[in-house]
Amino acid sequence: MAAVDTIRGMKFTFDQLEAFIAVAEEEHFGRAAERLHLTQPPLSRQIQTLERHLQVSLFDRSKRRTRLTPAGAAFLVEARRLVAIARDAENVAGRVATGVSGTIRIGFTSVVGNATLPRLLPLASQLVPDVQITLHEVRTPNMAEALLSSRIDLALGREFEMPRDLISRPLAPDGLAIAVPDGFFGPGADPKCALTSLRQLEGRAFVMYAGDEPHHVHDVVTSVLTVNNVRPRYVQRAMEVYTMLSLVGVGVGAAIVPQSTRNWAGRNTRFVKVPELASATTHSVAVWRNGSPNPALPHFLDILAQAENPG
């Protein structure tokens, strides 16, 4: 640090530092000038200007050889370090500006994140390894505000009413299945008894999504039950799928949930696909702010498209 303290407040350019380093390494002004694609007089003037600013002699000059003075040898260490820092700063700025370095903040709902992130994150790590990804679990009703306030750059969630300044793109649809606890048909039922129709939920214990605020999956499940004229017995309601599956797992009742949540189910829960659910899907979207200043965002939208359509 001593050499840094010595030059603090002094005025010199990085061109002068590079000229000094070239002369120090070549030990000859002519060869250094050729290396820098300069003529010798401008190179000599750069070194002289640098020496005046530092108020030290950097070289012992002779006709045959140019050698560093002790002050010059000490300054060479710091000059190399300063030039390296400047080049690194230039590279970092360029990489951030082009979106291959920096940070992106992704907000996600638990279910859509569970379906999308396991495909997105490994691909992003491979294609843009220098972009730091920060993850934020955000409920769908809060996503618009989080995007518009720049708390997140990209949202992965269920469909919601889209403000004018936001842009959305559909993600792969997610089918529905019935999560059934062991012993659902009662202790005296045939162990081979299988759930083969949505009609078998009629009057039976059922865990439903809470409907006290807009909820896409709640609306889809309600529609499926209504169309098929099935009226289960609602014994519990919950806002989140993992809570519903926990209730299913302890035998509270059955539930209709997205198929992608199969890996959340406990050992006492089976996922069953019945014919009435064949065409029932939930829809998810990727959402971002129009004119987002984050240069990494376009890369992530491309990577997300690859993750959604790997073929």
**151, 286, 292 from 144: Cα distances, Å:** 10, 12, 14
Per-residue pLDDT at 4 exceeds 50: no
Q: What would the mean pLDDT of 170-186 be, rounded to a whole number?
A: 87
Buried b (16+ CB within 10 A) or exposed e, 123-136: ebeeebeebebeee
Per-residue pLDDT at 154 exceeds 70: yes
In the prediction, which pLDDT does 212 show?
Answer: 67
Q: What percent of the chain has a predicted confidence (pLDDT) above 90?
A: 42
Digit-coded pLDDT (tens) for 131-142: 889 999 998 889
The top-scoring range by mean pLDDT among 49-53, 58-62, 191-195, 201-205 is 201-205
* H or E stretch covering 209: strand 205-209
Model confidence band, residue 311 (pLDDT cutoffs 50, 70, 90): low
Model confidence band, residue 108 (pLDDT cutoffs 50, 70, 90): very high
Lowest-confidence range among 185-189, 202-206, 238-242? Answer: 185-189
Per-residue pLDDT at 34 exceeds 90: no
pTM over 0.75: no
Q: What would the mean pLDDT of 21-28 be, rounded to a whole number?
A: 85
Per-residue pLDDT at 2 exceeds 60: no
* H or E stretch covering 284: strand 284-289
* Integer Cα distance of 16 and 12 in angstroms: 7
The average confidence (pLDDT) of the chain is 85
**21, 108, 116, 128, 139 from 284: Cα distances, Å:** 58, 11, 10, 24, 13
CB 159 within 8 A of CB 214: no
In the prediction, which pLDDT does 191 show?
Answer: 46
DSSP state of 231: -
Digit-coded pLDDT (tens) for 265-306: 888 898 988 999 999 999 899 999 998 888 889 888 999 999
* CA dihedral sign, ordered 147, 150, 151, 153: positive
In the prediction, which pLDDT does 193 show?
Answer: 56
In 3D space, the residue among 226, 223, 227 whose CA is nearest the CA of residue 215 turns out to be 223
* Integer Cα distance of 144 and 289 in angstroms: 9
In the prediction, which pLDDT does 215 show?
Answer: 78
* Integer Cα distance of 250 and 218 in angstroms: 22
- All domains of the chain in start order, with CATH: 2-97 (1.10.10.10), 101-172+283-308 (3.40.190.10), 175-282 (3.40.190.10)
Digit-coded pLDDT (tens) for 201-215: 999 999 999 876 667
DSSP state of 140: G
In the prediction, which pLDDT does 92 show?
Answer: 61
In the prediction, which pLDDT does 21 show?
Answer: 87
Model confidence band, residue 27 (pLDDT cutoffs 50, 70, 90): confident
* Integer Cα distance of 236 and 221 in angstroms: 15
Lowest-confidence range among 5-14, 155-164, 302-311? Answer: 5-14
